[in-house]
Amino acid sequence: MKSLDLFAGAGGMTLGFKNAGIESVGAIEIDRFAAETFSYNFPDIPMYNRDIHTFTEKEIKKLFNGVDIIAGGPPCQGFSVAGPSQYGIIDERNTLIMEFYRFISILKPQFCILENVKGILNGRMNESQKALQTYREKLGDIGYTTEVFVLQAADFGVPQYRERVVVVGTLDKDKMPKEIKGEFEGEENWVKIKDVFGDLPDINAGEGTNDLVDYKTEPQSAYQRYIRKGSKGVANHVAMKHTKRLIDRFSQIPQGGSLLDVPAEYGQRQRNGTGLDVKKRYKTNNQRLDPEKVSNIITASFQSTFVHPYLNRNLTAREGARLQSFPDAFVFCGPRTLMSKSLLKREHREDEIGLSQYNQIGNAVPPRMAEAIGKVIVESSR
């Protein structure tokens, strides 16, 4: 089967589908750093680093006619409960789901696979239209049957609690999958943090390299053996620089704890110069991973969210990639982190705006979950 990957990002869905035996004939991604990562890891797949709106019907047919599957995840920040929707703001990116529909309506693939956050279930494109409802109605008008599956990434061997919505559409209702079941269902079967990092080089804040280095040990778990297939070493393993005060704060956080558990003298200082602890702390800040559990959800800004389970620093990009089930052989390109857009503009460096390695990882579809979805689609098509 051949697929077209829209909103491809770094290539999590593409990699999973490739492992399921599906061949990608092209990918579209607007962000240049994510597109660079994609092309590095999939040199044989045409990457179109363009705004999806710029493709005409004629061009779409010329480039992609005959694909069996259209897959992708339109940008989800507008649907996320942590995004603008919590303030009643409708994000303009919410309409990109209709660009996904436009490609389907032109190419008429046998299957279409849309992945997104749970917020899409009630997310709106505008004041009068719910995004998912409109998308499904439009597909129905051109002959597609659709089903909505709510999946837990941890059930598919991803060491992370990550609920996602997958909408499967098919022209042949008899080929609709009855279920998308993971091999690791049940919390007792989930891959724990203690099995994820142990073979990686121990580095402290400010240490490490983006280049390939040797592993610390042989694989210590089944997950490490899985994640190391085809890899000659560790890349993208650089720890962020931290102040001594921040390192001291991290040292006070127990496994499974967060900023809420830190004594006042190690807390966040008020900006008024009094040196007193801030009055309100947030559980989502500085969460130290619990070795006996899966990680909480990896978001686009995870570089400052989590603390290593044993070391007093935030996670490296490689550690985040492992929590997303990207193999160590998959290399992330572009800047490791990026300044805020406002700061870049003040320094006249707007050309650097894009998705950092951390952003690319947090935005991705976990490849191990994508592989399971792909296998179900291949089996259903027979």
Positions marked catalytic:
76
Cβ atoms of residues 3 and 23 within 8 Å: yes
What distance in Å separates the CA atoms of residue 212 and residue 210, rounded to the nearest whole number? 7
Q: How far is CA 33 from CA 53, 221, 284, 354, 359, in A?
A: 19, 32, 27, 6, 10
Query: Are the C-beta atoms of residues 116 and 83 closer than 8 Å to each other?
Result: no
Are 287 and 305 spatial neighbours (Cβ–Cβ below 8 Å)?
Answer: yes
Judging by DSSP bridges, how do beta strands 47-48 and 23-28 pair with one another? parallel
Cβ–Cβ < 8 Å for 339, 354: no
- At 316, is the secondary structure helix, strand, or coil? coil
Give the other-Cβ count within 10 Å of 183's Cβ.
Answer: 10
Residue appearing with tokens 């129905």 = 140
Judge whether 320 and 358 are in contact, CB under 8 Å: yes
Which amino acid, 46? P
Show Cβ contacts of residue 64 under 8 Å, excluding neighbours closer than 6 positions: 4, 25, 26, 103, 107
CA dihedral of residues 267, 272, 275, 277 (deg, nearest 10) = -30
User: How far apart are alpha carbons 310 and 293 in whole angstroms?
Assistant: 14
Tokens of 341: 């857009």
- DSSP output for 190-203: SPPGGGTSTTSPP-
Q: Contacts for 149-155 with beta carbons within 8 Å, 24 or more apart? A: 149/177, 149/179, 149/180, 150/118, 151/180, 151/182, 151/369, 151/373, 152/182, 153/325, 153/366, 153/368, 153/369, 154/184, 154/187, 154/190, 154/191, 154/294, 155/181, 155/182, 155/184, 155/185, 155/186, 155/190
Question: Which phi and psi angles does 152 have, rounded to 5°?
Answer: -110, 115
